[in-house]
Amino acid sequence: MNKILTILLAVLMLITACSSNKTVLTTEEKLALADQLYAKGKYTRAAELYAQVYLDRISTSSAYALLREADCYFKVNRFADAYAAYQEYIINFPNYPEVSTALFRSAVCLYEQSLAPQFDQTETLSAIEAFEKFKAKYPDDPLCEEADKYIQKAKYKLTEKKFHIGYTYYKMKDYSAALMYFKEIIDEGNTNSLDRQSLYYTTLILHKQKQDDQARIYYNALKAKYPGSKETKKLAKYFQ
């Protein structure tokens, strides 16, 4: 029994000694290590250290650490975490010059979290609003050009959503509802596959409804915009 007690006591002393020798990094050391990890592309571990630095609330490094934490999450596609960190930065450090970048990237985070066109598009709409807000606040920022590209992609996704709904109604033979969505897409005035297919289905539905005068108007529009398309060729037999 005494031998077992002696062994247990020795183990306890060893654990205590190891614990007491454990290195505790200062805020500056954590920040330096985080920067090293960031430079090596080890973003997840770096984010943890930046978060610790930010929580230490050292005024000279808090803003930098929070922004870097957000950037780390952004780089590893953890967009929900990145968005939360960017928003906290925008709220707590509104007068810092990097706020413009934080605002832009938070909008990107919203876009990247948006669902496929057949699903709810709340995040897509929020992303468009966020990019527009960024452009309005920083009209001369070089990132405005990239913001415009994201807005175009987001709006295309919304158009895809309309087409998906319209096509679903078409397959259900609810032609009035289908026409409403296809015509909305046509009215956008774009030149792309969604516009082409919307012209095709609008013409076809009107023909099915014996409204050939109206159908011919949309057929002529289809032929003018997409003269060599397969959709134009399919409909030609109705309007010889």
Parse the chain into domains and list their residue ranges. Answer: 26-77, 173-240
Give the model confidence (pLDDT) of 29-52 as tens digits: 999 999 999 999 999 999 999 999
Give the orientation angle of helix 43-56 with respect to helix 27-39, to 10 degrees: 160
Phi, psi of 82 (to 5 degrees): -65, -45
Contact between residue 225 and residue 195 where contact means Cβ atoms under 8 Å apart: yes
Average pLDDT estimate for 109-126: 96
CA distance 10 to 7: 5
pLDDT in tens, 78-100: 999 999 999 999 999 999 999 99
Helix, strand and coil content of the chain, in percent to the nearest 5, comes to: 75, 0, 25
Is the pTM of the predicted complex or chain greater than 0.75?
A: yes
Dihedral angle over CA of 13, 16, 21, 24, nearest 10: 180
Q: Quickly state the pLDDT bin for 142 (edges 50, 70, 90).
A: very high
Res 110 pLDDT > 90: yes
Helix axes of 99-113 and 122-137: crossing angle, nearest 10 degrees = 160
Q: Name, in order, each residue with C-beta under 8 angstroms of 216's C-beta and a sequence gap of 6 or more.
A: 239
Local structure of 21: helix, strand or coil: coil
**Percent of the chain beyond pLDDT 70?**
90
Q: What is the pLDDT of residue 25?
A: 82
